[in-house]
Amino acid sequence: MKALRYVAIGQAPEVVDIPIPSPGPGQVLLKVTAGGVCHSDDYVMSLPEKDYFEQSYPLPLTLGHEGAGIVHEIGEGVDSTLRVGDAVAVYGPWGCGRCHNCSTGQENYCTNAAAEGIRPPGLGSQGSMAEYMIVDNARHLVPLGDLDPVQNVSLTDAGLTPYHAIKRSLPKLGAGTFAVVIGTGGLGHVGIQILKALSGATVIALDVNDEKLELATHVGADHVLISDGAAAGKIREITGGLGADAVFDFVGANPTMALAQSVAALDSDVTIVGIGGGTMALSFGSIAFDAAVRMPYWGSRSELIEVLDLARAGKISVEVETYGLDDGPKAYEDLAAGRIRGRAVIVP
């Protein structure tokens, strides 16, 4: 089968031919219908050799932590109602399934995964950018039903991650409030829709790219601003001087984290989702009183079901640009160059 793999440190991923894997006991083999391209893949491929191996990434690594497929073969001893031919989405943050967090469906916060070497597909285990993929346990598979896999595969991360981030701030986002979204790419453009669907907040979206701001308006942002030195002042103006009740930073670089900090209102939530290498210096008076800074990771299994339900209800959708597996390397080039509107999805 063809697979899009990261094969050498610092080099672009390559399409290679490898054997179709067989599901071991407890595992499920999917025929992949779609795999989404995330900026985090770029982050992993940008790690220097020492950090890459210290963080236990294997080489070669089949990319793709957003996956959807058709159940192709079920391994021995799989205890599930799953049937060959079922259309499924892959819940990516795999955990041990036994710890307290896993028991509540929050496998993204599994307390045993690191010690037991349990890694998400495409981020340690072999991922979805291939014709077939192994899923370690049937509980990681969520029925897609009538949702189109190509249009919806990215909800497994670009939907689930902002959903988890936003859901915790909903008590602060009633009518008359303001939410700021920084970075309106893959995650951000879905985040705007989730805010509009679930909260009463006026949404102010920022990006450095005019086309991304056009997309932000298209998906429902109330105000769009270029993310530059003047942005904080404009946000103050829009919010009547009070600042934003919640800020979601889908970039996480120094300038965006400084912006997030400076526009946070009293008792607000500042949520840093992007892993752009930024840091935030906090001291008394450097952020509004009682503002809380959070750094969430991905989302829970039940939240993925909720996100898919939102899509089914027509309340959120992903802007998708599709690529064949052979064009996978080009998808990453286009992502790095800021040419993707919404999310790039590989269709094998």
**Candidate residues 121, 127, 274, 348; the one interacting with ligand NAD per rule CB under 6 A:** 274
Q: Quick check: 96 binds Zn ion (CB under 5 A)?
A: yes
Residue 145 in contact with residue 47, Cβ under 8 Å?
no
How many residues bind Zn ion, per CB under 5 A?
Answer: 9
* Rounded Cα distance, 146 and 312, in Å: 8
Residue 188 in contact with residue 170, Cβ under 8 Å?
no
Q: List the single partner that 274 binds among ligand NAD, Zn ion, none, CB under 5 to 8 Å by kind.
A: ligand NAD
Sites for Zn ion among residues 32-91 (CB under 5 A): 38, 40
Sites for ligand NAD among residues 176-205 (CB under 6 A): 182-188
Task: Report, in Å, the least distance between residue 175 CB and Zn ion.
Answer: 32
Residue 170 in contact with residue 199, Cβ under 8 Å?
yes
Q: Quick check: 128 binds ligand NAD (CB under 6 A)?
A: no
Task: Report, in Å, the least distance between residue 286 CB and Zn ion.
Answer: 30
- Two tokens at 16? 């290679």
Residue 341 in contact with residue 211, Cβ under 8 Å?
yes
Residue 273 in contact with residue 296, Cβ under 8 Å?
yes
Task: Report, in Å, the least distance between residue 328 CB and ligand NAD.
Answer: 16
Task: Report, in Å, the least distance between residue 257 CB and ligand NAD.
Answer: 10
Residue nearest to ligand NAD (CB): 185
Sites for ligand NAD among residues 47-66 (CB under 6 A): none
Total residue count of the chain as it appears in this document: 348
Cα dist from 313 to 125, 147, 203, 300, whole Å? 32, 11, 21, 20
Task: Report, in Å, the least distance between residue 158 CB and Zn ion.
Answer: 7
What are the φ/ψ torsions at residue 180 (nearest 5 degrees)?
Answer: -110, 130
3-state helix, strand, coil in the chain (%, to 5): 30, 25, 45
Binding site for Zn ion (CB under 5 A): 38, 40, 95-96, 99, 102, 110, 112, 157
Binding site for ligand NAD (CB under 6 A): 38-40, 43, 157, 161, 182-188, 206-209, 212, 227, 250-253, 255-256, 273-276, 297-298, 335, 338
